[in-house]
């Protein structure tokens, strides 16, 4: 049972434009969310996080939005750069009951120069 879903396996964006990656989850108990970036043959690199007490968290070009009622979060990258081309995973956790993170299947982002 996939509790975290990324329904878009791939996304292509022109350099300089906005990239929007989406993630949906089913467990209303999730209260902590992460976005990771992963290059081929490398481990995930932490990008940005958000807890359920917030609906937005910004770090430089990266902003994560959380819509708890819709059980949806999104990652915005503005402006997109070719070096942003990678696979992006969202992950969620119910920090109250456990430490396990549930990951989405990833979205492969290609930023076209």
Partner 1 sequence: GAVVSQHPSWVICKSGTSVKIECRSLDFQATTMFWYRQFPKQSLMLMATSNEGSKATYEQGVEKDKFLINHASLTLSTLTVTSAHPEDSSFYICSARVPGQGAYGYTFGSGTRLTVV
Binding site for partner 1 (CB under 8 A): 2, 4, 32, 34, 36, 41-44, 46, 49, 51, 89, 91, 95-96, 99-106
Structure tokens at 15: 């350099």
Cα(49)–Cα(80) distance, rounded to whole angstroms?
A: 19
DSSP classification of residue 97: T
Distance of alpha carbon 97 from alpha carbon 113, whole angstroms:
44
- In angstroms, the CA 71 to CA 81 distance is 28
């Amino acid at each position: 049972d996939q509790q975290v879903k990324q329904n878009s396996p791939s996304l292509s964006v022109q350099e300089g434009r906005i990239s929007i990656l989406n993630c949906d989850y089913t467990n209303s108990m999730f209260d902590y969310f992460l976005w990771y970036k992963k290059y081929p043959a490398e481990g995930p690199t932490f990008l940005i996080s958000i807890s359920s007490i917030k609906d937005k968290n910004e770090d430089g070009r990266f902003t994560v939005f959380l819509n708890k009622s819709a059980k949806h979060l999104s990652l915005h990258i503005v402006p997109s750069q070719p070096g942003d081309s990678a696979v992006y995973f969202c992950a969620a956790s119910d920090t109250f009951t456990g430490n396990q993170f549930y990951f989405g299947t990833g979205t492969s982002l290609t930023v076209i120069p």
